[in-house]
Copies of this chain bind each other. A is one copy, B any other.
Amino acid sequence: MITSTIENYIKQIYLQQQENKSKLLPMGRLAAAMHVVPGTATAMVKTLADSGLVEYEPRSGIRLTHGGEQLALHVLRRHRVLESFLVEVLGLDWSEVHEEAETLEHAVSDKVLERMDLLLNRPQFDPHGDPIPTAKGQIKKIRLVPLTDLKPGHATIIARVADQDPAFLQFAEKNGLLPGVALTLIERDEQADSVQVRLQEKITVTLGGKAAEKILVRMATG
């Protein structure tokens, strides 16, 4: 049986693997991401391997099987459609929907999700700019770069805000750093670890490296 614990592990494995594709995901990394002690992750990974969801190479790490990846994409779809629904239909703030979706993603049926998806007119991205996999498990791969990779004068559009921390999301919103917003890089000071961008005439924001890395934009000039 696929429990919500399994869904959470598989989803996390998928997300962690995205960070460093091609390499096996080490157990320690998974344990940390799941907030469990390493032994717990090892035990769970064995049952995931028995279920054919991951390939497990002891003392090196794991990788999702095709089935595991499909499951991850389904859970991710539920999560992101739910986030969109909570923002668009119920009017919650984009900073609080991640936590809500974290629980609901294990409780909504395919039928209910389909209705939400329809009501939202089949959104392709969630409120944070993350792509929503289709019901068949296809996900858009778009090449995005963090603000820290732009050169002065480069004009583009914010595509994604890559942090689920409510405090950061509230900060981003207050400063107009939302997906879809146009921006131009003014300057980047390596030494000061800072990036300054202009959103509209007269509105500029300065971010430190850590924050700037979480704001992802399209490569092509928007």
The residues of A with any CB-CB pair to B shorter than 8 Å are: 86, 89-92, 96, 100, 103-104, 106-109, 111-112, 115-116, 119
Contact = CB atoms under 8 A, between A and B. Distances in A.
Contacts of A86: 112
B111 A92 contact: yes
Given A107-B106, A107-B107, A100 B112 contact: yes
A90 B104 contact: no
Contact of A89 (B89, B103, B104, B107): B89
B109 A100 contact: yes
Q: How many copies does the complex hold?
A: 2
A112 B89 contact: no
B92 A103 contact: no
A30 B119 CA distance: 40
A92 B115 contact: yes
Contacts of A104: 104, 107-108, 112
A103 to B, nearest CB: 5
B112 A92 contact: yes
Given A90-B116, A92-B115, 5 more contacts: A90-B112, A100-B109, A103-B107, A104-B112, A107-B107
Contacts of A119: 89-90
A4 to B, nearest CB: 9
Contacts of A92: 111-112, 115
14 contacts: A86-B112, A89-B89, A90-B116, A91-B115, A92-B111, A92-B115, A100-B109, A103-B107, A104-B104, A104-B107, A104-B108, A104-B112, A106-B107, A107-B107
Contacts of A89: 89, 119
Contacts of A91: 115
